[in-house]
């Protein structure tokens, strides 16, 4: 939504700040924005009520103080939060229909992810954008295709307790500390036969010990 607002100059264009009865388009846009604002206010009020019942133990899972406000939202009823995201996405679609600025929005989203160049972060963005931000999802997918390595196995056979993974892997340390890796390697295997307690990975491991390593 903020991307659309930036593209149309929502804070600079007088047609959006001055109430002109003759401009039906801007009236419709303001009405939609007011509905979105009301949605936010409703959920924030509900979240504040929920915070009263949230135990300190629940909030201790979020160690950093700056994450405490986000913790309250995360603890709030997930279904209602999903509904909020869905409704806002629908309103943004309505705004785009009233005032299409897709080309500008595409350029803005490309700028947003310009400095994100590691597969792990891009994959996380791709997951977050799925079904909620089509332009971001498309831009991330395109960038992943350009930087991500290829991991492929044609034929895999596993017996007993053997484990096989096709794909890159990040250790817990790499995930929690945000290790950035721009991986463009290609790992391929024609046939894999794993038996017993063997562990086979077609891909790269980042951040130290792999989950395949025995403690």
Architecture of domain 2-112: Up-down Bundle (1.20)
Distance of CA 74 to the CA centre of its chain: 15
**Separation between Cα atoms, residue 94 and residue 43, nearest integer Å:** 21
Q: Which pTM does this prediction carry?
A: 0.40
What does the pLDDT look like over 166-195, one tens digit per residue? Answer: 877 766 665 555 555 555 667 788 888 888
pLDDT for res 186: 74
* Ranges in the chain, pLDDT < 50: 56-73, 75, 215
Where along the chain do its domains lie? 2-112, 116-148, 149-206
pLDDT for res 130: 83
Partner residues linked to 127 by β-bridges = none
**Separation between Cα atoms, residue 160 and residue 1, nearest integer Å:** 51
pLDDT for res 13: 72
**Separation between Cα atoms, residue 150 and residue 43, nearest integer Å:** 42
pLDDT for res 78: 60
């Amino acid at each position: 939504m903020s991307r659309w607002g930036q593209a149309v100059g929502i804070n600079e264009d007088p047609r959006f700040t001055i109430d002109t009865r003759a401009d039906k388009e801007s009236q419709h846009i303001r009405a939609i924005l007011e509905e979105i604002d009301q949605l936010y206010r409703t959920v924030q009020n509900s979240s504040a009520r929920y915070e009263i019942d949230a135990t300190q133990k629940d909030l201790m899972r979020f160690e950093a103080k700056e994450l405490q406000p986000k913790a309250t939202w995360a603890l709030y009823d997930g279904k209602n939060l999903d509904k909020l995201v869905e409704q806002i996405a629908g309103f943004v679609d309505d705004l785009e229909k009233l005032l299409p600025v897709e080309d500008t929005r595409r350029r803005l989203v490309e700028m947003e992810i310009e400095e994100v160049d590691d597969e792990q972060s891009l994959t996380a963005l791709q997951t977050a954008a799925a079904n909620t931000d089509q332009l971001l999802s498309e831009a991330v997918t395109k960038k992943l295709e350009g930087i991500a390595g290829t991991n492929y196995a044609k034929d895999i056979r596993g017996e007993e307790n053997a484990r096989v993974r096709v794909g890159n892997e990040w250790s817990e340390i790499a995930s929690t500390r945000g290790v950035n890796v721009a991986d463009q390697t290609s790992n391929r295997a024609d046939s894999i036969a794993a038996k017993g307690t063997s562990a086979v990975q077609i891909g790269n491991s980042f951040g130290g010990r792999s989950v395949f390593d025995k403690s």
